[in-house]
Structure 1
Amino acid sequence: MASPDQTDILVIGAGVIGITTALALQRAGRRVRVIDRRGVAAEASRGNAGAFAFTDIEPLATPGILRRAPLWLLDPLGPLSVPPSHAFSIAPWLWRFWRASRPRRYRAGVTAQAALMDLSRSTLERLLPEVSGERFLRREGQLQLFDSPASYRAAAPALALRRRHGIAVETLESAGAIAEIQPGLASRFTRAAYTPGWINVTDPAAWTGHLAEQLRALGGRIGTAEVHALRLSAEAVEVDTDAGSLRASCVVVAAGAWSHRLARHLGDRIPLETERGYNTTYAEPRIDLRTHLTFTDHGFAVSRIGGGVRVGGAVELGGLDRPPDMRRAKTLAAKAARLLPGFDPSGGTEWMGFRPSLPDSMPVIGRAPRAPRVIYAFGHGHLGLTQSTGTAALVAALILGQTPPIPISPYAPDRF
């Protein structure tokens, strides 16, 4: 039998988390190899809204959220849904979600989320000149739109929370003030919040691909293979794939929504659920979009991608195995046409992707409890792009034997 192919560090997953982490380790002088079942940015890192949402410091599990959730769940095409056939399977996750929404844990979650956001913003700004990355960014801000004065008032605590954490937010209370930033909106919008420091990438797949090119230029390797098993030995981790066996002194599991299945090989049962996100991308702009638009009461966003526009969002907690329900993408496009008069929702390319989500809205970043040679880096929900450079910094610190730049215990794999 041929001996396994040996490498120093093996990163499983070529999404934005895996590629950014691999690049950080390669830049630190380690020999890194990345494998992915489909290739670079082939899953959620391809179809997201392209936002570095550093302002989203509030976990999804907010106090009282489960009192509001049933109203959303009654609409199968609404901003949050659970297919009836998946309801029993997801019940333990929802119970943990409810526990995370209790006030004490919510406050701890805000602190941990804000720390990771601050780290991610600073590490992104340091990375940009090192990879000639500024040309991939749009620094055009974000406009958060509210359907009514009541929903605007309901958002006041969240806006105040952002300000307390040093995030600049401007409140707008007239259609005219909103139109100065984004013309062409429906007349119902007379209340909004504008975040001038918000950043988008021109295209999330192009950004991840650029980082992958930087990794290769430094000697890192990227290949395609599906992992079937992880096995531990005294001095290495052996990884069985459909392309043969690999052996590494350290393995980083950054396989997104599939990561918990790999963790089971090491005896870890991580309560990861899948937020299935839907969108439609239009190659032509079809609207004079000047900033990232978030329609708060409808759970979706409109952003510029390449030379076109992407309409997407919503959350379907439906697991990995159900076929996509593209009616959700069509519903979002139809809403965009109503809220952006003049926008043509015909045509476009529909997409569905899997966002890996944990019940407390925090990712898992840390050593596997039973396998210190394995580092977990997954579960970022809809914030993978946002938190990619911060996650890379934490994983690199663990592997290089350095003190992590922020406390890492809130993201520990064994916290559940």
Structure 2
Amino acid sequence: MTHVIVIGAGVIGLSSALALQARGLRVTVLDREGPAAGASAGNAGAFAFTDILPLASPGLLRKAPGWLMDPLGPLSVPPRYALRIAPWMFRFWRACAPARVARSTVAQTALMDLSRAELEPFMAATGTGHMLRKDGSLQVYESQAEFDASLPGWQARADHGIAFRHMDAEEMAQLQPGLAPRFTHGTFTPNWYSIADPRLYVLALAERFRAAGGTIEQAQVTALAADGTGVTVTAAGRRRQADHAVLAAGAHSKDLARTLGDRIPLETERGYNTTLPAGAFDLRLQVIFGGHGFVVSRLSTGIRVGGAVELGGLALPPNFRRAEAMLAKARTFLPGLNTEGGTQWMGFRPSLPDTLPVIGPARASTRVIHAFGHGHLGLTQSAGTARLVADLVTGAAPAIDPQHFSPQRF
């Protein structure tokens, strides 16, 4: 039986492992910490299928200078990391050119459509369908000018058939009571899905994978090698042989890809959040404070306040003042929010400068498939990525054109 080693036990790795297992392959998952140990546990819990516009865009470039002036704002770069991040920032700036944004939007839309189509069948097959919520989301704005600036993006979504409804303050209050009066406009997106709890979802995937005969081992992978006959994975001082490998180690994928000769400009967005007790606020749906770079999510395990972007790599210590700053804003924006008893978290989002993931074969061998770099959209794009990975490993016709996501595009 064909044997595949999947490196990474987050939502991308385990979704891919299950998709491969469903096609009759023997699959082993290796992870340095175990299932749901990274960003897959601490994300906002959204399936943001309507986010078809790449983060790299002229609109973000206009906002970035103001955001960077605030060290606790939506976007920050620690001074001691600024020189290291400069080449990535230059690539990001180039990706914001209108022609490149147009190409990225086509690719992002295709992967979003595939991921949405695959999600519910995948959840039904893995016994996790009861965890899916379809409450929608509410994006809020503080002025007519901020609302007007959002309209081109909503028009792009409308052109793709995405449903939404603009609202005034009174309509928003009916949908989500308790918003501060400073928010004068909003947009409700009904087809924005969420998960009851992202960590519990990934742990359920791990349990399903094991029950079907899969193996998950805690082992730190240090190198990959491949030739025409197979793949060698070095982990915990031991060499393991397989017919294929899938590299889905999130923010830790860059160095492993380099052992195969792939120099992929992966960087790490450090995300922060605070999860409050479930009774902290009567939250009806996810509320997005886009102008401040964070969201408030209703999970089965509590109310999560988190987001923002800190481009600070893997090694710097966390700066939990960022979590505290978001929580303070959330208390102002939702005056009834009880901010006591929260648990802080920081995790690493694997991000590429054009805000598209890499999903495709390594330069050295088609027997290794890269599947990482999803940024803020790992949960959202997990089922679609799993479908593509399974197609590529088994030689099936890919569900969508994988060239947009080629690891060699850089």
TM-score, scaled to structure 1: 0.96
Q: Residue 90 of structure 2 aligns to which amino acid in structure 1?
A: W
Distance 1:385 1:154 in 2: 28
User: In the alignment, does 2:165 pair up with 1:170?
Assistant: yes
Gaps of 5+ in 2: none
**8 A Cα contact 2:228 2:365, kept in partner:** no
Which whole-Å deviations, capped at 9, do the CAs of 1:301-351 have from their partners, x for residues lacking one?
000122410000000011111010000000011100000001122231100
Distance 1:88 1:243 in 2: 34
**8 A Cα contact 1:7 1:247, kept in partner:** no
Distance 1:14 1:408 in 2: 23
| Of 11, 18, 23, the match for 1:16 | 11
User: In the alignment, does 2:372 pair up with 1:392?
Assistant: no
Q: Which residue of 1 aligns with 2:92?
A: 97
Structure 1 residue 180: Cα displacement: 0.8
Q: Which residue of 1 aligns with 2:279?
A: 285
Structure 1 residue 177: Cα displacement: 0.5
Distance 2:296 2:59 in 1: 28
**8 A Cα contact 2:8 2:247, kept in partner:** yes
Q: Residue 125 of structure 2 aligns to which amino acid in structure 1?
A: E
Change (3 A) 1:184 1:389: same
**8 A Cα contact 1:7 1:246, kept in partner:** no
Distance 1:108 1:234 in 2: 33
Distance 1:354 1:307 in 2: 21
User: In the alignment, does 2:268 pair up with 1:274?
Assistant: yes
Q: Which residue of 2 aligns with 1:218?
A: 212
Structure 1 residue 103: Cα displacement: 0.7
Q: Which residue of 1 aligns with 2:376?
A: 382
Q: Residue 376 of structure 2 aligns to which amino acid in structure 1?
A: H
Distance 2:227 2:403 in 1: 27
**8 A Cα contact 2:120 2:129, kept in partner:** no
Aligned pairs (5 A) from 1:129-144: 129-144=124-139
Q: Which residue of 1 aligns with 2:105?
A: 110
Change (3 A) 1:94 1:392: same
User: In the alignment, does 2:155 pair up with 1:182?
Assistant: no
Q: Residue 184 of structure 1 aligns to which amino acid in structure 2?
A: G
SS at match of 2:278: coil
Q: Which residue of 1 aligns with 2:24?
A: 29
Distance 2:166 2:406 in 1: 37
Structure 1 residue 390: Cα displacement: 0.3
Q: Which moved more, 1:64-73 or 1:221-230?
A: 64-73
Distance 1:238 1:129 in 2: 34
Q: Which residue of 2 aligns with 1:3?
A: none
Structure 1 residue 209: Cα displacement: 1.1
Q: Residue 48 of structure 1 aligns to which amino acid in structure 2?
A: N
Structure 1 residue 165: Cα displacement: 1.0
SS at match of 1:297: helix
User: In the alignment, does 2:196 pair up with 1:202?
Assistant: yes
Which whole-Å deviations, capped at 9, do the CAs of 1:371-391 have from their partners, x for residues lacking one?
221100000001000000000
Aligned pairs (5 A) from 1:293-372: 293-372=287-366
User: In the alignment, does 2:410 pair up with 1:411?
Assistant: no
SS at match of 1:171: strand
SS at match of 1:105: helix
Distance 1:368 1:77 in 2: 38
**8 A Cα contact 2:257 2:264, kept in partner:** yes
TM-score, scaled to structure 2: 0.98
Q: Residue 103 of structure 1 aligns to which amino acid in structure 2?
A: P
Of all paired residues, the percent bearing the same amino acid is: 56
Gaps of 5+ in 1: 1-5
Structure 1 residue 234: Cα displacement: 4.5
**8 A Cα contact 1:225 1:243, kept in partner:** no
Distance 1:179 1:356 in 2: 36
**8 A Cα contact 1:61 1:359, kept in partner:** yes
Structure 1 residue 233: Cα displacement: 4.3
Structure 1 residue 64: Cα displacement: 5.0
Structure 1 residue 7: Cα displacement: 7.5
| Of 71, 77, 80, the match for 2:72 | 77
- Give me the CA root mean square deviation: 1.2
**8 A Cα contact 1:7 1:33, kept in partner:** no
Distance 2:132 2:397 in 1: 30
Q: Residue 192 of structure 1 aligns to which amino acid in structure 2?
A: G
SS at match of 1:285: helix
Which whole-Å deviations, capped at 9, do the CAs of 1:16-66 have from their partners, x for residues lacking one?
000000000001100000010000010000000000000110001112533
Q: Which moved more, 1:242-251 or 1:152-161?
A: 242-251
Q: Which residue of 2 aligns with 1:61?
A: 56
Distance 1:259 1:275 in 2: 14
**8 A Cα contact 2:226 2:364, kept in partner:** no
Distance 1:193 1:64 in 2: 18
Distance 1:338 1:397 in 2: 48
**8 A Cα contact 1:27 1:218, kept in partner:** no
Change (3 A) 1:41 1:231: same
